[in-house]
Structure 1
Amino acid sequence: MPSANHPQPTLIHVLREAGAAIRLFDMGRRVSKLTGELFERIEQARIPYPLPFLHHAWIGILIWHPKQPEQNAIWFLKLPLDEQGFLVQAARDDLVQRLLQNAVNAKSGALEEDALKDNPFAFKPDQDKMAIFHALAAQSTGVSASSYFETAQDYINGELPLDRWTDLALQGLADLVVRLDDKSNANALAARIAELPLPALASISTLLEHLVPPVKVRDALSARLDQMLADSTTDPLVVAAVIRGLSNIQDEHFKQREVLKVLASKHALEAEVIVAIATRCSLALQAPEVLQPFLERLAAGKAGQAGFSRVLADLMFMPALRALIMQAFRNPQRSETLAAAIGEMFGQSFGGH
């Protein structure tokens, strides 16, 4: 056990001591890069985890040994957070102890993927996140795109017919979207979005949420969203996917307009659509003029009371939103439907207080 004079080493320290180079990614709401310095501060409980999702920190760690590539590994860790959003230290210490023991046990002294075997903190990301993770990992370590990338490029360039979307591999599309800083890829995708079959549009949009789409791609997605919202028969899963594709754009006013557009449509009553807004566009919800109609749609929506309570419990875990939601709850203009949903939620969760 570490003593006061010899505190528990950080996870980053253990990995570096094993001679590994590392890249860290948040794998919660979306896949994004984390710096080692930031994560050390999180580990030392100096700052709360900045991107909590379902009360956990979801971390992807790419570990590679430039001189010994056979020892490269990928770990996915799900670490619990306390009520303030800090890493639960006991869980972190337990993980570090397991890794240290693994290092002692390994003949070469190198950490291996077996370190996570039967580990309670390990998790497996869904397919979309795994594809983006591999695409970003390849890009950040200078490795070529997958063999599926060329087919994805051919498709968006119009060299394959639209109905050949079934030929596209998720990994190829992920490789494409992480390479949209290449103007030819961005221009080709922007031009193709208007006519993409819905399954291809949904796949590409879902992957785009992990990147900041170029302006041309953003505008093409927005125009396609207008078309879909005008059609009440559009599959809500595709509407939700396009919302996700627009969720990481940097122009918050643009994003707020897109969210309001969706909230004004009947599609906002669909569980998949309102959850996409809640989980992916939480920054847009910090604008009171967006938050109020969001709460109204959530209360009236098909997700019911259970969906209302679950979505709000997650949003209220974010300090920036908690106060704004409480303020919106007290809005005298709120509907009876919203008032009833609030009463039901607080009665269940807080014993009527």
Structure 2
Amino acid sequence: MAHFETLTDFIRQTDAQFRIFDMGRCISKLSPDSFRQMEMGHVPYPKPFLHQAWVAVLMWNPKRAEENVVWFLKLPLDEQGFLVQAARDDFLNRLLQNLSNSMGKAPLDQPADATEYRDALKDNPFSFTPDQEKMAAFHATATLTTRQPASSFYDTARSYFHGKSDLSDWNTLGYQGIADYVIRCQGESGKVSNEEKLASIFNQLPDTPLEAAATFIEHIQPATALTQSILLKLNTVVSEEQVSANQIGALLRAVSQCPETDEKIAALTAVLNSGYGTEAEVIAALASRCWASLQYPELLKLFLEKLAINQTGQECFNRVMADLMFIPTLRALTLQQFRSPERSEELSQAIGGMFGDGFL
């Protein structure tokens, strides 16, 4: 059996085109060279989530791009965020063994059609299946990447968000169609883009399509107009305190990929200072999606204080901190806050409870 040191090396010997995506906190591209460095253990994984690297590998034959192959992988990381080399080797061995069995005597180091690898992760403990929402977002990303048509639900969604049907008539929208519409806000050309239309209509949307669109926006990088619309909506509903914590969480996910501006930090601060600040859904959205903003010391300080008195209790504090302190920059900043003589008694007790439970 042919030997390959990394998954990247193996894919490169095929005749397939491929892209690698991080699937942890949001869907984002990973360059093959950077991923290979991570596989080799030369650099830590950039966006760890729940102590693992969540990865999607998209492969396709340029002549038959519609017949693509996707591998969803979750690979364990060590305490410093590096891929566990023994797990990487185990994964590769299982992958190559499956391919060897399915391809018979065909040499694995010869070019092959990407579709021959469709079942290569069968019974592989390092594979996973994304939830419905993440799968819809990835399918939209994959068709855009391979320049394939969007799903059959796309036209209905586009008509709705472009204001060509009554906004109350959202029951006809397909979840995949909303994903396609939002993901195709990126890299568009033409007279009127999806993103411009979405920005103009965002604050008029009923709760259900608003929350659906918001959760898919976390997978793109909103431009100025859409960023301003999201921030306006977030500030408005927070000040009114008349919507569900789920909607606040969805809007936080939407704002997570917006540029790190003073206006954004002010909006996140307002959320934490509101009645939503201790809600589990809001805490989870801030920690898992807006973690980059938590690198601002004052925001992190406020977040930790609210986390200490969250409505779910010590277990929520432990889980959130175990994840956040796995991110190198946040670990250092968090430890500074833990040592601060200005921390509250509630935060001191939560920290003591965390260490007492053996989480760190």
- State the TM-score bracket (shorter-chain normalisation): over 0.9
The answer as to whether partners of 2:214 and 2:253 remain within 8 angstroms in 1 is yes
Give the whole-Å Cα distance in 2 for the aligned partners of 1:335 and 1:43: 42
CA offsets, 1:247-276, max 9 Å, x none? 001234333122111111011110000110
Alpha-carbon distance, 1:330 to partner: 2.1
Which residue number corresponds to residue 6 of structure 2? 10
Runs of 4+ in 1 over 6 A off after TM superposition: none
Aligned match of 1:45: 41
> Partners in 1 of 2:64 and 2:237 — Cα distance?
51
The SS at the match of 2:73 is strand
Aligned 8 A contact 2:23 2:56 in 1 = yes
Question: Counterpart of 1:261 in structure 2: which amino acid?
Answer: A
Q: Does 1:63 align with 2:71?
A: no
- Structure 1 residue 69: deviation in Å? 5.7
Q: 1:102 offset after TM fit, Å?
A: 2.7
| Conservation of the 8 A alpha-carbon contact between 1:247 and 1:255 | no
Greater CA deviation, 32-41 or 108-117?
108-117
1:10 CA displacement: 1.2
Q: Which SS does the other structure have where 2:168 is aligned?
A: helix
Q: Deviations over 1:187-212 (max 9, x none)?
A: 21112111211111111000001111
Deviates more, 1:38-47 or 1:63-72: 63-72
Determine the C-alpha separation between the residues in 2 that align with 1:251 and 1:272. Answer: 22
Structure 2 counterparts to residues 1-353 of structure 1, below 5 A: 8-67=4-63, 72-107=68-103, 109=106, 110=112, 111-181=116-186, 182=188, 183-349=192-358
Per-residue CA deviation, residues 3-23 of structure 1 (Å, 9 max, x unaligned), is xxxx74211122232332211
Deviation at residue 70 of structure 1 after TM alignment? 8.1
Contact 1:180 1:214 in 2 (8 A): no
Q: Using the aligned pairs only, state the percent identity.
A: 47
Q: Which amino acid aligns with 1:98?
A: R
Distance 1:346 1:152 in 2: 49
Alpha-carbon distance between aligned partners in 1 of 2:10 and 2:66, rounded to the nearest angstrom: 19
Q: TM-score, normalised by structure 2?
A: 0.91
Question: Mean Cα displacement is larger for which, 238-247 or 214-223?
Answer: 214-223
Alpha-carbon distance in structure 2 between the residues aligned to 1:141 and 1:304:
45
Taking the aligned partners of 1:137 and 1:127, their CA distance within structure 2 comes to 15
Mapped contact 2:182–2:217 kept (Cα < 8 A)? yes
Q: Distance in 2 between matches of 1:312 and 1:64?
A: 39
Q: Once the two structures are superposed, what CA deviation does each residue of 1:27-70 show, in whole Å capped at 9, x if it has no partner?
A: 00000011111111111111111111111110111111234668
CA distance in 2, matches of 1:210, 1:335: 36
> Relative to structure 1, is the Cα distance of residues 69 and 208 closer, same or farther in structure 2, using a 3 angstrom cutoff?
closer
SS of structure 2 residue aligned to 1:79: strand
CA contact (8 A) 2:65 2:148 kept: no
Q: Deviations over 1:44-100 (max 9, x none)?
A: 111111111111110111111234668631110111111111111111111211222
State the secondary structure of the residue aligned to 1:116.
coil
CA RMSD between the two structures: 1.9
TM-score of the two chains, using structure 1 as the length reference: 0.93
Of the structure 1 ranges 13-22 and 154-163, higher mean CA displacement relative to structure 2 is found in: 13-22
Quick check: 71-80 or 12-21, which moved more?
12-21
1:14–1:100: 8 Å Cα contact kept in structure 2? no
AA aligned opposite 2:257: N
User: What secondary structure sits across from 2:291 in the alignment?
Assistant: coil
Shift of 1:135: 1.4
Equivalent pair of 2:215/2:253 in contact (CA under 8 Å): yes
* Separation in structure 2 between the aligned mates of residue 238 and residue 158 of structure 1, nearest angstrom: 22
Contact 1:269 1:300 in 2 (8 A): yes
* 1:178 maps to amino acid: I
Query: Counterparts of 2:65 and 2:195 in 1: how far apart (Å)?
Result: 33
One-letter code of the match for 2:176? Q
Kindly indicate whether the alpha-carbon contact (under 8 Å) linking 1:270 and 1:301 is maintained by their aligned counterparts in 2.
Answer: yes
- Which has more helix, going by share of residues? 1
What are the superposed Cα offsets for residues 193-243 of structure 1, whole Å, 9 maximum, x if unpaired? 112111111110000011111211111111111221123331100100001
Is the Cα–Cα contact under 8 Å of residues 65 and 146 in structure 2 kept in the other structure?
Answer: no
**Are the aligned partners of 1:252 and 1:284 in contact in 2 as well (CA < 8 Å)?**
no
Q: Read off the aligned partner of 1:195 and give its amino acid letter.
A: Q
In 1, are the aligned partners of 2:66 and 2:148 still within 8 Å (CA)? Answer: no
Distance 1:74 1:332 in 2: 50
Any gaps of 5 or more consecutive residues in structure 1? none
Q: CA deviation at 1:341?
A: 1.0
Structure 1 counterpart SS, 2:276: helix
Q: Judge conservation of contact 1:278–1:311 (CA < 8 Å) in 2.
A: yes
